Amino acid sequence: MSEQAVHDWIRKQISSNDVVLFMKGTKNFPQCGFSGQVAQILQYLGVEYQDVNVLEDMGIREGIKSFSEWPTIPQLYVKGEFVGGCDIVREMFQAGELQEMLAEKGVTHTAVA
């Protein structure tokens, strides 16, 4: 698949799902600690999300990095907006900013303080 085709596929995933996590492994079986941390935060908050296992396709694994201009995985998208990787998501969660963002964007989640 060409880079453009990969970017189109990524764009479709992001526009078709309220929350998308590009990760190593799956939400039920993360294969990296950083991906696992973000999946755990989303699960704790009760957020339904689409997981994309970048280990299954090297084109997607590299394509998501060029798409977002962000060098690492995992990558979290909420309502089409790139949120960040593990450190950013964890810091936002700890500060309550992730919960606020989800509420502002109308994403159903369990309000946990």
For residue 80, tell me if it sits in a domain. yes
* pLDDT at res. 1: 83
Q: Cα–Cα–Cα angle for 22, 54, 19, nearest 5°? A: 20
Residue 26 lies in a domain: yes
Domain that holds residue 70: 3-104
CATH code: domain of residue 27 = 3.40.30.10
* 109 domain-assigned: no
According to DSSP, the residues that pair with 25 across neighbouring strands are: 30
Specify if 84 maps to a domain: yes
How confident is the model at residue 112, as a pLDDT? 57
pLDDT for 111 equals 60
- Token pair 């294969």 is found at 31
110 within a domain of the structure (yes/no) = no
The mean pLDDT of the chain is: 95
Q: Which helix (H) or strand (E) holds 22?
A: strand 19-23
Rounded-to-integer distance, Cα 19 and Cα 93, Å: 15
Q: Is the pLDDT of residue 77 over 80?
A: yes
Average pLDDT rounded to a whole number, residues 6-18: 97
Instruction: Please give the tally of structural domains in the chain.
Output: 1
For the stretch 18-72, pLDDT in tens is: 999 999 999 999 999 999 999 999 999 999 999 999 999 999 999 999 999 999 9
Check: CB of residue 23 under 8 Å from CB of residue 51: yes
> For residue 110, is pLDDT > 90?
no
What's residue 109's pLDDT? Answer: 84
